[in-house]
Amino acid sequence: MPVTYPRFCTAGDTAILIELGAGIDRTINRAVMALNTRISQAGLEGLVETVPTFRSVLISYDPLKTSGAAVREKIQSMIDEPVSQMKQETRLWRLPVCYDGEDFAPDLADVSARTGLKTDDVISRHLEGTYHVYMLGTYPGYGFMGDVDPALSLPRRTNPRLRVPAGSVAITGKLTGIYPLEAPGGWNIIGRSPVRLFDPTWPVPALLRPGDRVQLERVELQRFADIADGVGNGTWRPECEVQAL
């Protein structure tokens, strides 16, 4: 039986999940971001937090102040308005990436072999896109970004790594991402960025947020080292341009 969207799902006794569509799709995700903004700004009594994902919004509420039925009724009225047409502010980031060397790009040659592309073509296709940050997850500050050129669409590694260095730039399927810290991972690593994506001492700990856009710029090893030094001593920050969609 076909699923009708939007769909309300109970998520325990203190949360509601609202699904706006299926799959990884920018139009669906922009509607998710618009609805998330609308809910966050509505001043709903008992609202604890909202968590936007690829295709849904999770709404947590305080059951001592409101009920699931009341939350659903208020959210339904917001969905009945043209959510997808709501103007959104977005930030365009330009982040440096170095694709040189086995340490920084251990899977680049393998990706080249599996896709049938020269390594330079893999790099150029990865640099071509303006990526949409669909959501944050898995690790603090980790942005799931898409859409990767279809020619680079590959499954995860058969044998995930126990330690992926912070800053590693990786791809899988239609997604790319930058590891904000050293962690296990199974994506295909093709480069590394010197940018710090997460710092618990920042007012907002994560650099990226859902709905942001990202352009990647290639840098050589010396420039990578210079930027890393600047990041370390606080004299370098990535470029960011605020735009309205």
Q: Which two tokens stand for residue 138?
A: 């898995």
Residue 129, pLDDT score: 85
Coil, strand or helix at 143: strand
8-state DSSP, 195: -
pLDDT value of position 110: 97
Say if 1 falls within a structural domain.
Answer: no
Question: pLDDT tens, 163-211?
Answer: 999 999 999 999 999 999 999 999 999 999 999 999 999 999 999 999 9
User: What residues make up the domain containing 26?
Assistant: 7-85
**For 71-120, how does the pLDDT look when each residue is reduced to its tens digit (9 = 90+)?**
999 998 888 766 555 566 789 999 999 999 999 999 999 999 999 999 99
**Domain count across the chain:** 2
Q: How, if at all, do strands 143-146 and 130-136 pair? A: antiparallel
Torsions phi, psi for 68 (to 5 deg): -60, -40
In a domain, 2, yes or no: no
Q: Please give the Cα distance from 63 to 16 (Å, whole number).
A: 12
Q: Residue 51's domain is classified under what CATH number? A: 3.30.1360.40
Are 151 and 196 part of one and the same domain? yes
Specify the amino acid at residue 27.
T
Please give the Cα distance from 170 to 164 (Å, whole number): 10
Q: Mark whether 60 and 165 lie in a shared domain.
A: no
Q: What is the pLDDT of residue 1?
A: 66
Verify that 61 and 118 share a domain, yes or no.
no
The whole-number pLDDT of residue 245 equals 66
User: Do 215 and 123 have their domain in common?
Assistant: yes
Residues 122 and 199 in one domain: yes
pLDDT at 82 (0 to 100): 63
Q: State residue 3's pLDDT score.
A: 79
- Is 118 part of a structural domain of the chain? yes
The amino acid at 175: L
> pTM score, two decimals?
0.91
Which residue among 68, 85, 102 closes a domain?
85
Q: For 115-145, what is each residue's pLDDT tens digit?
A: 999 999 999 999 998 999 999 999 999 999 9
Q: Are residues 99 and 67 in the same domain?
A: no
The CA-based dihedral angle spanning residues 201, 143, 171, 131, taken in that order and rounded to the nearest 10 degrees: -120
**101 and 16 together in one domain:** no
The number of angstroms, rounded, from the C-alpha of 2 to the middle of its chain's C-alpha atoms is 28
Q: How far apart are CA 11 and CA 15, in angstroms?
A: 5
At 85 the pLDDT is 57
How many angstroms separate the Cα of 198 from the Cα of each of 6, 53, 105, 193, 218? 33, 19, 22, 13, 21
| pLDDT for position 106 | 98
Task: Read off the pLDDT of each residue in 19-46 and give the average, rounded to a whole number.
Answer: 91
Contacts (Cβ under 8 Å, ≥6 apart) of 12: none
